[in-house]
Amino acid sequence: MEPEKVRAAPAILNAGAVAGAMDITAASIQAWLAGRTPMRMLQGIAVGWFGRSSFGLGWTSAAAGFATHFFIATSWAAIYWFASRRLKVLVRQAWWSGTAFAVLVYLVMYQIVMPLSAIHRRVSRRRRSRCS
Amino acid at 102: A
Cα dihedral 30, 36, 42, 46 in deg (nearest 10): -120
Q: Rounded mean pLDDT of 39-46?
A: 94
Band (73; pLDDT cuts 50, 70, 90): very high
Backbone angles phi, psi at 88, to 5 degrees: -65, -20
pLDDT computed for residue 116 by the predictor: 80
Q: Note whether 31 and 41 are within 8 A (CB).
A: yes
* Predicted structure pTM score: 0.81
Band (107; pLDDT cuts 50, 70, 90): very high
